[in-house]
Amino acid sequence: MITRLFLKLTDYPAFRRLVWKPVYELLAKYFRSKEWSLMNYGYAPSPGEPLLTLHPQDKVNRYPIQLYYYLAVKVRLGGCDVLEVGSGRGGGAACLKTYLDPKSITGLDIAGNAVELANEYFGSAGISFVRGSAEQLPFADESFDVVINIESSHTYGSVPQFLSEVKRVLRPGGYLLCADIRTKSDMVLFTQQLKTCGLRMELQEDISDNVRRAIELEEPIKQQRITEHIPKSLQPIFKQFAGVKGSKAHLQLASGELRYFRFVLQKPL
């Protein structure tokens, strides 16, 4: 009952603003496993996409890393200044730095504990993490070549405000790389918001089946982590949050009620 109520309330922007920050603060404070440094639903590649070769220590996070990688390779990151909005525990930004060699990558997250954890685990030359709001980015105009946003925008109170801020901090010719989940009707709205934000749509792709397959393929690892690290009383709601096989997200991706898209947008010169 509590799980169903929580999931229903997250449909409302005011509740999203209220609830997601403390959720991520608590996760970063009490669940400090470096191995679980990415928490997205993951991505299983489509036929024809090249096999991603990972360092041995990264193989445990193969599917969440692939969600980043197969979006990020749509543009060139080498030599670029990159901003990740919604960087969480830092694992995604760290993998982009390792595998795609941007000049610098800055991660921004609303949760202070997550920022602290990310800097502890991954902060180094060329990669850093700061606290801030996606709807009020604490950066100067035209500071970045690429902004990446993975499975985060659905938690924002105002997506148009976020997109306005992205446009402001991007350099002319820069890119927004975005991947996220919505109901079918909300995906129509989100797509319209992207198309009218002042950036040019270069790619719009439904990857719902790729994400669903990744959830199923990652199931043993995810269940083991939850059993080992999450108190038993909290496991039912955390399984919904994490998107295990049989969760609301997994079942609705399979039925088509939920859609997962990736987008590439470019700021005009």
CA–CA dist 250, 216 (Å, integer): 8
Q: Assign 1 a pLDDT band (cuts: 50, 70, 90).
A: very low
Average pLDDT score over residue span 35-40: 84
Model pLDDT, residue 3? 37
Model pLDDT, residue 50? 83
Residue 67, helix vs strand vs coil: helix
Is the Cβ–Cβ distance between 159 and 190 less than 8 Å?
yes
More confident residue, 26 or 98: 98
Residue 27, helix vs strand vs coil: helix
More confident residue, 3 or 267: 267
Which long-range CB contacts under 8 A does 220-225 form with residues at least 24 apart? 221/60, 225/33, 225/35, 225/36
Model pLDDT, residue 5? 43
**pLDDT, tens digit (0-9, with 9 covering 90-100), for 107-139:** 999 988 889 999 999 998 899 999 999 999 999
pLDDT at 221 over 50: yes
CA–CA dist 229, 31 (Å, integer): 7
Q: Is 33 exposed, middle or buried (0-12, 13-18, 19+ CB in 10 A)?
A: exposed
Calculate the CA dihedral of residues 64, 70, 72, 78 and round it to 10 degrees. 110
Model pLDDT, residue 125? 87
% of the chain exceeding 70 in pLDDT: 87
Closest CA to 212 of 242, 184, 243, 182: 243
Model pLDDT, residue 240? 84
Q: What is the mean pLDDT of the chain?
A: 89
Model pLDDT, residue 264? 98
Average pLDDT score over residue span 240-244: 85
Model pLDDT, residue 68? 98
Model pLDDT, residue 4? 46
- Residue 32 corresponds to which amino acid? R
The b-or-e profile of 178-199 (16+ CB within 10 A means b, else e) is: bbbbbeeebbeebbeebeebeb
Q: Assign 214 a pLDDT band (cuts: 50, 70, 90).
A: very high
**pLDDT, tens digit (0-9, with 9 covering 90-100), for 183-197:** 999 999 999 999 999
**pLDDT, tens digit (0-9, with 9 covering 90-100), for 50-105:** 889 999 999 999 999 999 999 999 999 999 999 999 999 999 999 999 999 999 99
- Residue 125 corresponds to which amino acid? A
